[in-house]
Homo-oligomer: A and B are copies of this chain.
Amino acid sequence: MKNRILEAAENRFFQYGYRKATMDEVASDLGISKKTLYIHFKSKDAVAIAVIRALHKDIDKLLKQFSIKIPDPVERLGMMITEVSARLTRIGTLFLADIKKDIPALWRECEDFREKKIFEYGEAILKEGIRKGKVKKDIDTKIAMLVFLGAIHAVIQPEVFVKNPFSIDEAYKNILNIFLKGIQK
């Protein structure tokens, strides 16, 4: 039951932001009462914290699997787009902006996860690529990671696909291609 609550809350929080999503709506989505909801969670804040921790745990698991199952650093970068960054993008800027004000500790936790896990994981992939002769030696891996994550964040959003005639798979391919090879002729 807790997982069902987290999933419903995640959907609401990520689509509308933390503030505009109400506990009445989460309960209604599940066909349960707020009484039942508050049996499982102490507060709305507690729900948000649990939602984010579950997502981070899920991503952490994925990253570990990639390290084991995918030896090629370039392929691992590709998986980072499709499996990891796409998940993080779902959180949405609304949710993050709201919890920055309402639950700053959770916001810092998200920033830390992004900084420590995703960013450093990606940076390690780039460094491994340099060692294996697949990435140029003079690339600043920190800047490259910012470029990479910024590109993903800008493109992988629902509204972009309604306005542009490419599919999400095409978007993934193009982002990776541009990042890896640049656009110069």
Contact = CB atoms under 8 A, between A and B. Distances in A.
A85 to B, nearest CB: 13
Contacts of A163: 168
A165 interface: yes
Contact of A170 (B16, B157, B158, B167): B167
A165 B169 CA distance: 6
A20 interface: yes
Contacts of A166: 167
A156 interface: yes
Interface in A94-113: none
Nearest to A169: B165
A168 B169 CA distance: 13
A3 interface: no
A167 B162 contact: no
A138 interface: no
Interface string A151-183: 000001111011111111110000000000000
Given A16-B16, A16-B20, A20-B20, A161 B168 contact: yes
Contact of A168 (B16, B156, B162): B162
Contacts of A20: 16, 20
A156 B161 CA distance: 10
Interface of A: 16, 20, 86, 156-159, 161-170
